[in-house]
Structure 1
Amino acid sequence: MKILKKALFLVTFSFLLSDFCIAQNAEEHFKRGKGYLETRLVNEAIAEFKKALHLFKEDQSELKAETYVSLANAYNWRGIHKAAITACKKAIEINPDFTNAHYNLGFAYREEGKEELAKKEFALYDKLLKQEGEYIEIPEKPTSEDIDKHITLGDNYFKEGKLDEAISEYKKALEIKPRDDILNKLGQVYQKKRLANKSEDQSRIDSFAGKNSKGEEIPLNPPLEKGEIGGFVGFSDEISQETSIDELSDRGISYYDKGMINEAIDEFKEVLEIDPEDVETHYNLGSAYADKGMFDEAITIYKKAIEKNPEFIDAYLSLGELYLDMDLIDDAISLYKQALNANPDDSFLCFYLGEAYARNKQYKEAIINYNNAISINPMDPETQYRLAEAYYKTKQYDMALEHATQAEELGYIAEPAFMVDLKKKTGTE
Structure 2
Amino acid sequence: MIIEIITTGDEVLTGFTVDTNASWVSLQLLEQGWQVRRRQTVGDRMDDLTDVLRERSLIADVIIFNGGLGPTSDDKTTDAVAQVAGVPLELNSDWLANMEQKFSNRGRVMPASNRKQAMLPQGSTVLDNPIGTACGFKLKINNAVCYFTPGVPNEFKQMVNEQIIPDLKQQFSYGAAVVRRYFTFGISESSLSDMLDPLCWPEHIELGYRSSMPIIEMKLISQHADADFDTAEKQLLSVITPYLVASDYLDMPKRLAALLETHLEILEGSTCGELLTELAPDMPNLCADYHAHLPDSADELLQHIQHHSRLTLAIGTAKEQRYPIALWDGIHGWAQTLFVRTLDVTLQRRIIAFAAQDMLRRYLLKQPVLGDYQTLQRTDSSYRP
Structure having the higher helix fraction is 1
| TM-score, normalization by structure 1 | 0.24
TM-score using structure 2 length: 0.26
Higher strand share: 2
Q: Which has the higher contact order (CA 8 A, sep 6+)?
A: 2
